[in-house]
Amino acid sequence: MKDITTDRRSNLIKKNVGDLMREMFSSRISEVISEIIRMADEIGCKAYLVGGFVRDLLMKKPNRDVDIVIEGDGIKFAELFARRVDGRVRTHKRFKTSAVIFSDGFRVDVATAREEYYAHPAALPVVEISSIERDLYRRDFSINAMAICLNGKETSMLYDFFGGQSDLKDHVIRVLHKRSFIDDPTRVFRAVRFEHRLGFRICEPTLLLLESATREKLFEKLSAERLFNEAVLILEEQKPEEALLRMNELGLLKFIHPELCFRVESNQLMNHCKETLVWFELNFPGREVRRWVVMMMALFDSLANDCRDEMLQKFKSAKKILSCPLVNLAKVEAATAKLHKPVVSPSFVGKAFENLTNEALVFMAAKQTGEGIKALVTSYLTNIKDIRPFINGEDILKMGVSPSPIISNILEQVMEAQLDGKLKSRHEALKLADKLSR
């Protein structure tokens, strides 16, 4: 057993937060929590609210990610709870965690109070059942390591063992013990993310541990997938550019690629991307854009092609995350090169933008300041992309053309004429196709 008093001293401060819960919870959250309490009482176990949900409650910020820890059998609790609320349950036996998903998509994460051991730095932890105190001790930062007891004698009691409330008050990010970053280096990225999300600062002793973890190159041991999952979370934040400037300053970006940096120009580009995302979402509300993809494109924009290839090579297991922004970047570069003509016809725009995702369109408009590309993107999305062709392959076959690439060639030429307004009807399209097929 670890001695939990050696680092951040365990010193329980309790506080009843019933009034705050009543003030802050929506009726939906209150209903769900009442149901959790009933279930825990029936089974005879103790249930706690934990993690970011408690942190945000104390900061009076709304949060719908209900995170529960059960002192007892969390998996059994989740199964019974899912049945009670007519939801589904997804269980991860190794980590003793479950997610209960209601029919309307609302989700409650349920875990068994557990402590974790790390066989070696950056390994996935070995998990053992424990008390709430030890469960909280395995967490990343003091502000995320508080719990609210939901049932029994101490209902609505906040349990703060590691000075979380005082760190919230002082706006400080602090790890709970010296080995924290060694056990799990993703915490380095989480520290920077929370620092900028909450407007806090990493306190001096934690910063020293973080710098030492960076010197020891602990991230090299981290799986690429976990590393880039953290990067995605940072890029999804409201102000990713601030976190990236900080990562640059802390020397964290060089673990992604030695040439990768984030300075004034990248900061400007990311800000343009943010503005363009707002413009895009306002003008094209039904079209989905993944924010992190656009932001990752901005992050990797300054990297030369061979560096991008090296990065893909090094982080093979994160290919699913990395290839999307990298492929998009290559396509944007190719499309931009084509658009250097003074006047471009709709059919030309259609061809140049063909296969560009919404993320690529946003990035392209962000990169070329001025209204030019925005106007082309608007014209492409409103008049070109979804236009239905007057004719199809069947029509050409009926003209007696045998199946061959000639058919797609004719269709392409007819579509070009249609996009450029040279054809007004299906009849005119058929006439042109007939002429081209002779």
Q: Summarize as ranges the residues that interact with ligand ATP (CB under 6 A).
A: 51-52, 65, 67, 139-140, 144-145, 184, 186-187, 190
Neighbours of 319 (CB within 10 A): 15
The residue behind tokens 């300053």 is 249
Q: Smaller CB distance to ligand ATP: residue 61 or 338?
A: 61
Question: What are the DSSP E strand ranges found in 72-150?
Answer: 88-92, 97-101, 107-112, 114-117, 126-129, 146-149
**141 secondary structure, DSSP code:** B
- Three-state SS for 256? coil
CB of 323 to ligand ATP, least distance (A): 24
Q: How many CA atoms lie within 13 A of 344 on its CB side?
A: 22
Strand pairing report for 172-173 and 201-202? parallel
Please give the Cα distance from 212 to 97 (Å, whole number): 32
At a CB cut-off of 8 Å and minimum separation 6, what does 65 contact?
52, 53, 107, 109
CB of 162 to ligand ATP, least distance (A): 11
CB 228 within 8 Å of CB 318: yes
Q: Smaller CB distance to ligand ATP: residue 199 or 372?
A: 199
If we measure between CA atoms, which residue out of 202, 198, 200 comes closest to residue 187?
Answer: 202
Beta bridge partners of 307: none
Q: Smaller CB distance to ligand ATP: residue 229 or 413?
A: 229
Q: Smaller CB distance to ligand ATP: residue 61 or 316?
A: 61
CB of 417 to ligand ATP, least distance (A): 52
Burial of residue 329 (number of CB atoms within 10 Å: 0-12, 13-18, 19+): buried
CA-CA-CA-CA torsion for 77, 83, 85, 90, nearest 10 degrees?
70
Strand pairing report for 201-202 and 66-71? unpaired
**How big is the chain, counted in residues?**
438
Please give the Cα distance from 281 to 170 (Å, whole number): 37
CB of 190 to ligand ATP, least distance (A): 6
Please give the Cα distance from 116 to 134 (Å, whole number): 9
CB of 166 to ligand ATP, least distance (A): 17
Q: Smaller CB distance to ligand ATP: residue 222 or 269?
A: 222
CB of 62 to ligand ATP, least distance (A): 11
CB of 295 to ligand ATP, least distance (A): 16
CB of 99 to ligand ATP, least distance (A): 11
Q: Smaller CB distance to ligand ATP: residue 61 or 263?
A: 61
Residue 425 tokens read as: 């009807």
Q: Smaller CB distance to ligand ATP: residue 146 or 396?
A: 146
Element containing residue 350 per DSSP (H, E): helix 346-353
CB of 13 to ligand ATP, least distance (A): 17
Amino acid at 269: L
Q: Smaller CB distance to ligand ATP: residue 122 or 433?
A: 122
Q: Smaller CB distance to ligand ATP: residue 150 or 396?
A: 150
If we measure between CA atoms, which residue out of 167, 181, 131 comes closest to residue 4?
Answer: 131
Neighbours of 425 (CB within 10 A): 10
Element containing residue 393 per DSSP (H, E): helix 393-398
Q: Smaller CB distance to ligand ATP: residue 65 or 333?
A: 65
The residue sitting closest to ligand ATP, measured at its beta carbon, is 52
CB of 202 to ligand ATP, least distance (A): 15
